[in-house]
Amino acid sequence: METFKRLKQFYWPYRNYFFLSVFSLLFVSGITVMYPVVLQFTIDEVILNQEYRWVPYLALGFVIIMTIKGTATFFHQYLGDLFGVTAVYKLREELYKKLQYLPFRYYDNAKTGDLMSRLTADVEGFRFFLSFGFAQVINFILLVSFSLGVMFYYSVPLAFVTLGMLPFLAIAVYRFDKRVHPAFRGIRKSMGRLNTKVQENVSGINTIKSLSREDFEIGKFVNNNKDYRDNYLQTSDIWAKYFPLMEMIGNLCVVFLLSYGGFLVIDNQLNPGELVAFFSLVWYIIWPIMNLGFVINTFSQSKASGERLLEVLDEPEDIQDIEDPISINHLEGHVKFDKITHKYASEEEHALKDVSFDAPKGTTIGLLGATGSGKTTITQLISRFYEPIEGSILIDGRNIRDYSIKSLRKNIGVVLQETFLFSSTIRDNIAYGDADVEFEKVVEAAKRAQAHEFIIELPEGYDTVLGERGMGLSGGQKQRIAIARAILSDPSVLILDDATSAVDMETEFKIQKAFQEVMKGRTTFIIAHRISSLKHADEILVLENGEVAQRGTHNELIERDGMYQRVYKIQYQDKEKIKQRQTG
């Protein structure tokens, strides 16, 4: 029950719905137990005594009782569902909120399909027990209690015969719960892996088809599907073993009841109507007990789901505001790295080693290096996506931890290497950072990013709805929209992480020309593999294995032996040969 205690904050505020549902359940259970009593009265007092004048009254009373029970059942079910649905509404909302604030470190290892499974299947599994499972447990207690009370009233010895089998049933139920809970947890994990595989397949369908890897992907899915099937069959095997055992114990109870009860009727110690009522009442105990397996099944599923939900809710938020952080609308943009060392949790090697530089307001810093050299890490540290393990990062003379995360990131415009656009209109995507911005400013940002011309050529212009992840646009078009989004936020620090990698040389030239105006007065960090994107930078840092191997201006670096000179020669030697041929 520890899982339910820890999730209490989500369902306890709505306990009134639950209590009203239970109150209605009292009527349902009480009236259910009245059926055998009416039956006993009909047999012993009406039929055997030939008092047939009571039959119409009994029929009318039965109709009234059924009406009351029907009404009570409606309120019980509706209020129970209202309790469960309202509780998980808040739980799902809190989970989504948690995902928004979890650090990049969490998403480095998280699987999208598994997270989707937690927010859908696991939340629904938890809701089902709140709406249905809790009520079934209480119904079991009420029905068994009421039935035993009436049974003891009719015959104490016969009631004890019935109770004699309950300890054996309790042992079977306990052992069933011990085995079924781990099995259901395995099913939940297997479902998460299956969802992850489907999500990855759909997202990467272009790559799969281009490399003709359909059969390979089908094989991987079959393996995941087989794992899910095997986990489910293992659970079914447990269920198949224990459910007949519990049913057999219940049927033995009936055998003992009829045998001993028949003897009491023959010996005139029990009336025939009381034995018939007893037979009906014992099923009101047996069926809930047999249904107890299903309730435990539901409980185990919801417990496994709750544990997976708590794994997300318990995940620490490493990147948080300090007490009383500085909230500022506009930063100047003076960035300084002081002996920064960083290491990712999932990596053995350091991503950055003792990196230092100073970028005054309006300075453009170029970052060049091989994949994994630490270029993107620098920009991610500026935005506090991660915390360095050593050193300090200053903006305008203050440690970035002194600023509130919201105000810090609001002053930093980022165009990531992997462009992401939402399934919304182009206008909404550009204005994502400020939904209330004037349309004229959206258009101006698009013009600066060289995106306006292709946007107005679309059928709906800025109101064109994009597909998932910007489907329907070319790579260069998506990147220019992302650049417009960063420009519109009017940042003090602009980060361009290979922002022109997906555009052709002509478009790159236009964007670079627009950037010359946009970058005025802003500190800009440009990550690029093309020398043409970096040569106008005030300082260029050449990174190798997380360390600054070279630094200087373009003209200084092409005169020195090193990586920058080698890259320059590779990118420009063909250009020089073409010029020589044209002049020759």
Confidence of residue 211 (pLDDT cuts 50, 70, 90): low
- Percent of the chain topping pLDDT 90: 21
CA end-to-end span of the chain: 86
Output the pLDDT for position 466. Answer: 83
Output the pLDDT for position 115. Answer: 85
Confidence of residue 14 (pLDDT cuts 50, 70, 90): very high
Which amino acid, residue 220? K
What tokens does 38 get? 């009416």
Cα torsion 92, 98, 100, 106: sign: negative
Cβ atoms 37, 336 nearer than 8 A: no
Average pLDDT rounded to a whole number, residues 44-60: 83
Output the pLDDT for position 360. Answer: 92
Cβ atoms 335, 523 nearer than 8 A: yes
What tokens does 262 get? 């028949």
Output the pLDDT for position 140. Answer: 85
Residue-wise pLDDT for 379-437, tens only, equals 989 999 899 999 999 999 999 999 999 899 889 888 876 777 888 888 988 888 887 88
DSSP reduced 3-state for 414: strand
Interatomic CA distance for residues 300 and 184, integer angstroms:
7
Residue-wise pLDDT for 523-539, tens only, equals 999 998 888 788 889 99
Average pLDDT rounded to a whole number, residues 137-161: 86
Q: Report which of 364, 400, 381, 349 is spatially closest to residue 541, judged by C-alpha positions.
A: 364
Output the pLDDT for position 279. Answer: 80
Q: How many CB atoms lie within 10 A of CB 314?
A: 9
Which amino acid, residue 324? D
Cβ atoms 277, 306 nearer than 8 A: no
Q: With left for phi above 0 and alpha for psi between -120 and 50, is residue 339 left, alpha or beta?
A: left
Output the pLDDT for position 541. Answer: 94
Output the pLDDT for position 396. Answer: 93
Which amino acid, residue 505? M
Query: What angle, rounded to 10 degrees, do the helices at 134-154 and 272-313 form?
Result: 160
Query: What angle, rounded to 10 degrees, do the helices at 55-101 and 134-154 form?
Result: 150
Tell me the average pLDDT of the chain: 84
What tokens does 407 get? 């105000």
Q: Report which of 378, 302, 388 is spatially closest to residue 341, judged by C-alpha positions.
A: 388
Q: Report which of 195, 180, 193, 173 is spatially closest to residue 302, judged by C-alpha positions.
A: 180
- Percent of the chain topping pLDDT 70: 92
Residue 579: pLDDT above 60?
A: no
Q: How many CB atoms lie within 10 A of CB 324?
A: 8
Output the pLDDT for position 328. Answer: 87
* Beta strand 398-399 pairing with 523-527: unpaired
Query: In b/e form, how buried is each residue of 358-396, taking b as 16+ CB within 10 angstroms?
Result: ebeebbbbbbbbeeebbbbbbbbbbbbbbebeebebebb
Confidence of residue 268 (pLDDT cuts 50, 70, 90): confident
Better-scored residue on pLDDT, 542 or 482: 542
Cβ atoms 493, 522 nearer than 8 A: yes
Confidence of residue 158 (pLDDT cuts 50, 70, 90): confident
Interatomic CA distance for residues 372 and 343, integer angstroms:
12
Interatomic CA distance for residues 219 and 209, integer angstroms:
15
Interatomic CA distance for residues 298 and 449, integer angstroms:
55
118 contacts: CB under 8 Å, gap ≥ 6: 95, 192, 308, 309, 312
DSSP 443-471: HHHHHHTT-HHHHHTSTTGGGPBP-GGGT
Confidence of residue 200 (pLDDT cuts 50, 70, 90): confident
Residue-wise pLDDT for 80-118, tens only, equals 999 999 999 999 999 999 988 888 888 877 877 788 888
Output the pLDDT for position 501. Answer: 63
Confidence of residue 338 (pLDDT cuts 50, 70, 90): very high
Q: What are phi and psi of 315, to 5 degrees?
A: -60, 125
Interatomic CA distance for residues 467 and 464, integer angstroms:
10
Residue 320: pLDDT above 80?
A: yes
Output the pLDDT for position 193. Answer: 82
Cβ atoms 11, 83 nearer than 8 A: yes
CA 295 to chain centre: 26
Output the pLDDT for position 348. Answer: 82
Residue-wise pLDDT for 507-518, tens only, equals 667 666 666 666
Distances (CA, A) of 48 to 35, 44, 277, 530, 539: 18, 5, 15, 103, 108
Q: How many CB atoms lie within 10 A of CB 354?
A: 15
Q: Report which of 205, 203, 563, 192 is spatially closest to residue 418, judged by C-alpha positions.
A: 203
Residue 457: pLDDT above 80?
A: yes
Highest mean pLDDT among 38-47, 292-301, 517-526, 539-548 belongs to 539-548
CA 3 to chain centre: 18
Output the pLDDT for position 272. Answer: 85
Residue 345: pLDDT above 60?
A: yes
Which residue bears the tokens 């599907």?
A: 225
Interatomic CA distance for residues 533 and 511, integer angstroms:
10
Output the pLDDT for position 470. Answer: 63
pTM here is 0.72
Residue 234: pLDDT above 70?
A: yes
Cβ atoms 91, 123 nearer than 8 A: yes
Q: Which domains does the chain have, with CATH numbers?
A: 2-313 (1.20.1560.10)
Interatomic CA distance for residues 170 and 193, integer angstroms:
35
Q: Report which of 130, 131, 134, 142 is spatially closest to residue 28, judged by C-alpha positions.
A: 142
